[in-house]
Amino acid sequence: MRCRLALRFLVLSSMSVSPGFVPTVLRKAVVRALLALAVLVTPVAKAQLSLPPDYAWRQLSPSGEPTSSVTFQWRIDPRGEWVVFIGDVESAGAEAVYSLRRNGAELHRLSPYAPTGTILRLELSPDGRRVVYSGALETNGRVEVWSAPLAGTPAAAVKLNLPVIGEGVTSFSVGDSGDRIAYAAETASGWGFWTVPVAGPAAAGVNVAPPLAAGEIPYFGFVLGDPSRALLFVYDTVAPALNLWSAPAAGPAAAGLYLLSSNPEGCTAFPAAVSSVTRRIAYTFTCDSPVGDRTNQLWSMPFEGPEGAEVSLAGSFVQGGAIGSTSSSADGSRIVFTADKLIDEKQELWSVPFTGPAGELVRLNPSLIASGDVTAFDISPDGARVAYIADATTNETFRPWSVPIAGPSTLAEPLVTGATAANADVTNLDFAPDSATIVFRGDLSQDQRFDLYAAPADGSGGREQITNDSGIPGPDRSTGLLWRLHPDGRRVVFTVDQDAPSDQRRLYEQRLQPRYVQDARLNGEPVAGGRISSFEVFPDSAGTLYYSDELVDGRFHLFTVDSRIFGDGFEEGTTVAWADAP
């Protein structure tokens, strides 16, 4: 016992200085020494302890001038080699689109300079090789769309839209087809919906919109699937209604057809889910009812139609009933949604094949108490199971459950059993990439101190606490609502509420098994008011990119904690990106 107390004192003493101000070599040496001591103290600790990665912290986006900042729009390319973002990081007030290698090298400006707020949107092509952005860069108030190579220049950017008038491009979509994007715009010849190769030129664009009557406007659309298909919602301002049009992505429009040419009286269509695998789109109808508008119909239709091939997926609803949230499995086989379908104001969980019919609809949750509801759900990556949160047995006491995606509800398994803290709740959950584990956040051990827990997805084992449960004790930290699993499923990155709920001032990481010696701190100490606004783990799971105003309140930048910069050939500049490029 004396050894354990001495160990605890040493750990707490060594952590009294912010890790950002302790020399890396000294800090690692202290941790390794403490780990060695812990292993000698108890065999239980030996099974639990491991060292965190040797990460390096850096501010990734250039500092610029004192008021320079990066906008909330930023992306990591699919291979994790480059980061793209919008910001005024060279001259305050003059923003542009930039790309930057993950190690901080090769800053490329991809757009002209523009006043802050001019560049509206930023996307990457599916293969990550081109950056697509929109904004009023040439004519004030008139939005257009450009594409640039990932390591390009403003001169290399290609305008993708034809000459436009009025507000210009009203929407654009980078679909999953990989070769074309779609945009809706008004030209001198009228409204249209064009698809164009992601590398341009604009002249290669094809208008795939149907003939539009007075009052009809292309609202928004997608380019999906292989062979690629353009799907367009047409807004009829006279009805009003949203109608659904489908055409080959490369045209011609004459080969297109309406999948939905009119809405039932008093109803408006909205997209609900799309599956490129099964080549189907699901949509809902929001209809007038005696108690107000309710989203109470769900339909599915093949990309290629024909009109009349739509299938009802949900059938009828109790008066006042409505669909809450909708998602589909990655393989496109099933749609899962919450709805108070049977009893008004009682949200339950439902699953149906994407192809229907409504007769195959199953309720996934067992009967809930009178006041019970399903509040959240997640579908496993392999499409086999659904995890959900509900106050199924005690009002306002929310617990996680897991059930096969096709049911039946009798196979639903609780993920939390046994004793918990008073008033304990689970707030959100996520499947690990291998679909075998579910991670969830709850204050199960101590009221209002939230931790992350892991449990087998099939309910075959008990929960295991991930945070605040390392081999060497440390101060209690409440996990914030923002957390993400690494793509390899081995670790989890999470914010910590330092001074108040949801302040998200700290960023930590922990391994699911075996644990690190302590929850590993990733960021420094933010200034007053600073916080972690968002973050993403790199695709190779070797580091995290986060967006924060931790250095100057209200001035946001991108920061990395990363191990690849120490020995990866690409990051060292000794190998070329995408060696398989033509």
Q: How far, CA to CA in Å, does 214 sit from each of 136, 190, 217?
A: 27, 10, 9
Q: What is the pLDDT of residues 293-306, one digit of tens each?
A: 999 999 999 999 99
Helices and strands (H and E) in the chain: how many: 4, 41
Q: To the nearest whole percent, how much of the chain has pLDDT over 70? A: 89
Q: To the nearest whole percent, how much of the chain has pLDDT over 90? A: 81
Sheet holding 385-390, edge to edge: 374-379, 385-390, 399-404, 413-414
- Extents of the domains making up the chain: 277-363
Interior angle at CA 187, CA 184 and CA 191, nearest 5: 50
Query: Tokens for 160?
Result: 């993708």
Predicted confidence band of residue 579 (pLDDT cuts 50, 70, 90): low
Burial of 176 (0-12, 13-18, 19+ CB in 10 A): middle
- Judging by DSSP bridges, how do beta strands 449-456 and 464-465 pair with one another? antiparallel
Q: Which of 282-291, 309-318, 380-389, 495-504 has the lowest mean pLDDT?
A: 495-504
The pLDDT value given to residue 582:
31
The pLDDT value given to residue 426:
97
Separation of alpha carbons 318 and 344, rounded Å: 7
Q: Over 90: is that where the pLDDT of 78 sits?
A: yes
Yes or no: say if 457 and 385 are a contact pair by the CB < 8 Å rule: yes
Separation of alpha carbons 160 and 143, rounded Å: 12
What stretch of H or E contains 48? helix 43-48
Q: Over 60: is that where the pLDDT of 162 sits?
A: yes
Q: What is the pLDDT of residues 248-286, one digit of tens each?
A: 999 999 999 999 999 999 999 999 999 999 999 999 999
Burial of 578 (0-12, 13-18, 19+ CB in 10 A): middle
Predicted confidence band of residue 565 (pLDDT cuts 50, 70, 90): confident
Q: What radius of gyration, in Å, describes the C-alpha atoms of the chain?
A: 26
Separation of alpha carbons 580 and 242, rounded Å: 43
Mean pLDDT confidence for 455-477: 88
The pLDDT value given to residue 40:
38
Interior angle at CA 304, CA 278 and CA 355, nearest 5: 40
pTM of the model: 0.89
Separation of alpha carbons 342 and 317, rounded Å: 6
Q: What is the pLDDT of residues 200-246, one digit of tens each?
A: 999 999 999 999 999 999 999 999 999 999 999 999 999 999 999 99
The pLDDT value given to residue 30:
43
